[in-house]
Amino acid sequence: MNMISRDVIAAENARREGALKSDYAHLGEQLARRGIDIDAVKRKVAAYAVAVPSWGVGTGGTRFARFPGAGEPRNIFDKLEDCAVIHELTRATPTVSLHIPWDKVSDLGALKEKGAALGLGFDAMNSNTFSDAPGQEHSYKFGSLSHADAATRRQAVEHNVECIEIGRKLGSKALTVWIGDGTNFPGQADFTRSFERYLEAMKAIYRHLPDDWRIFSEHKMFEPAFYSTVVQDWGTNYLIAKELGEKAYCLVDLGHHAPNVNIEMIVARLIQFGKLGGFHFNDSKYGDDDLDTGSIDPYRLFLVFNELVNAEERKAEGFAPAHMLDQSHNVTDPIESLMRSATEVCRAYAQGLIVDREALAGYQDDNDALMASETLKAAFRTDVEPILAMARQEAGGAIDPVAAYRAAGYRTKVANERPAVVGGGGGIV
């Protein structure tokens, strides 16, 4: 089942094929002079995959307002179709990450079938105890897994267990837990007791985790709480993973750090101690986690991937991070943003692959700071687009995904089929 006509992709590619062949050959010559086999890099890029979040295909919002776009997905089945568009054109996003209860359906079999028909699998399950579901007994206004009230904590644990059960039926192998728990005022909660309650609740969830599953905890320094969060940074996140056990790992969301924090170094540390679970890719300028991956600081994204490739090549023990996009789209077509972001992570990966690691290690040992940094820059400055485009085309995708998407008129088509959504007030994720 194709969401985008193969003919449109073929026609769009035909217009760009000649230039791509010539650019690829030229880049191949350049890389060969540096001792790099371009086809080997292309094969690795082709095998790379990043998951798309189901909630990402809808327009996001800020605390002020949400301005829905045309053809907004109405439910998880619409969302899967939009996700399939992204994969058909980029060939880099074969899985979707669900959010419960937003994506809850009565017929899980139908959901699984729909995914299979579209060629999509299901990535990590995401629980939601940061907002109240209609009709739930206890409110999460003052927290969930760390709530002072035992019944509220129990309800939050049960919700996570339900997410595991749904995920099992869909073929997922991981649960991501992010909580909105925190405080707005000094003294509002006791740091130690809150964290004790959180750990106790997480241990209860962990006991329900199947043996072949992993559980990811995600840290975030602020929002929705502005004074303190219960899982505020990677140090706390690491403590959680250590306390819970070998199936527990830390998830790094690039946007959940203070400005200028050395995220690539955090990544290196978590890899070294076997606790890097994966990523939520996005970008930010001042705070938050909503901008398109690589749109603000592509060098930082590259430096993160430099650590990942380093770990991959030295076969670091237990290294198998899950990659997912997690961003909110307010002024772009979400499908276009997600396609571009998937391409940006592929680009950072390709650039990481062409770092001359032997030379780098030599410069490091010789204390040649200038040439060490130049070695990374040489990879980052290389325009690897021909590698990405060739990998996409050979896999049946588009040389230029956004151009092919626009040529296919998908947004206009779904805008006619799906009723317009009325703009809403504040409320963000």
Site membership for Mn ion, residue 223 (CB under 5 A): no
User: Whose Cβ is closer to Mn ion: residue 45's or residue 241's?
Assistant: 241
| Residue number of the CB atom closest to Mn ion | 280
Site membership for Mn ion, residue 347 (CB under 5 A): no
Q: H helices then E strands: how many in the chain?
A: 15, 11
Q: Under DSSP, is residue 181 helix (H, G, I), strand (E, B) or coil?
A: coil
Q: How far apart are the first and last CA of the chain?
A: 31
CB of 230 to Mn ion, least distance (A): 15
User: Whose Cβ is closer to Mn ion: residue 312's or residue 326's?
Assistant: 326
Strand partners of residue 96 = 52, 122
CB-CB contact of 249 with 241 (8 Å): yes
**Residue range at the interface with Mn ion (CB under 5 A); choices 48-56, 136-144, 280-288, 309-317:** 280-288
Angle between helices 401-408 and 76-90 (to 10 degrees): 130
**Residue range at the interface with Mn ion (CB under 5 A); choices 61-69, 143-151, 166-174, 322-330:** 322-330
Within 8 A by CB and 6+ apart from 211, the residues are 247
Binding Mn ion (rule: CB under 5 A), the pick from 326, 344, 385, 400 is 326
CB of 127 to Mn ion, least distance (A): 13
CB of 199 to Mn ion, least distance (A): 21
CB of 237 to Mn ion, least distance (A): 12
Q: Are strands 214-218 and 248-253 parallel, antiparallel or unpaired?
A: parallel
Nearest to 36 by CA among 314, 358, 301: 358
**Residue range at the interface with Mn ion (CB under 5 A); choices 52-60, 115-123, 249-257, 368-376:** 249-257
User: Whose Cβ is closer to Mn ion: residue 100's or residue 372's?
Assistant: 100
CB of 20 to Mn ion, least distance (A): 34
Site membership for Mn ion, residue 253 (CB under 5 A): yes
**Residue range at the interface with Mn ion (CB under 5 A); choices 17-25, 109-117, 248-256, 419-427:** 248-256
**Residue range at the interface with Mn ion (CB under 5 A); choices 153-161, 190-198, 247-255, 384-392:** 247-255
Extract the runs of DSSP E, i.e. beta strands, from 178-270: 182-183, 214-218, 228-229, 248-253
Q: Distances in Å between the alpha carbon of 106 and those of 67, 103, 320? A: 29, 10, 33
325: left (phi over 0), alpha (psi -120 to 50) or beta: beta
CB of 253 to Mn ion, least distance (A): 4
Q: Distances in Å between the alpha carbon of 32 and those of 44, 376, 379, 396? A: 17, 18, 14, 26
Site membership for Mn ion, residue 290 (CB under 5 A): no
User: Whose Cβ is closer to Mn ion: residue 253's or residue 288's?
Assistant: 253
CB-count exposure of residue 166 (10 Å: 0-12, 13-18, 19+): buried
Site membership for Mn ion, residue 283 (CB under 5 A): no
Residues binding Mn ion: what is the number (CB under 5 A)? 3
Length of the chain: 429
User: Whose Cβ is closer to Mn ion: residue 257's or residue 347's?
Assistant: 257
Q: Give me 414's structure tokens.
A: 């779904």
Q: Give me 429's structure tokens.
A: 């994720």
State how far the Cα of 385 lies from the Cα of 24, in Å rounded to an integer.
9
CB of 358 to Mn ion, least distance (A): 35
Q: What residue type is 335 in one-letter code?
A: I
**Residue range at the interface with Mn ion (CB under 5 A); choices 84-92, 122-130, 319-327, 360-368:** 319-327
**Residue range at the interface with Mn ion (CB under 5 A); choices 11-19, 39-47, 89-97, 246-254:** 246-254
User: Whose Cβ is closer to Mn ion: residue 228's or residue 327's?
Assistant: 327
CB of 121 to Mn ion, least distance (A): 20
User: Whose Cβ is closer to Mn ion: residue 326's or residue 344's?
Assistant: 326
Q: What residue type is 117 in one-letter code?
A: A
Binding Mn ion (rule: CB under 5 A), the pick from 79, 87, 280, 329 is 280
User: Whose Cβ is closer to Mn ion: residue 126's or residue 351's?
Assistant: 126
State how far the Cα of 165 lies from the Cα of 347, in Å rounded to an integer.
35
Q: What are phi and psi of 6, to 5 degrees?
A: -60, -30
Q: Can you give the binding site for Mn ion, defined by CB under 5 A? A: 253, 280, 326
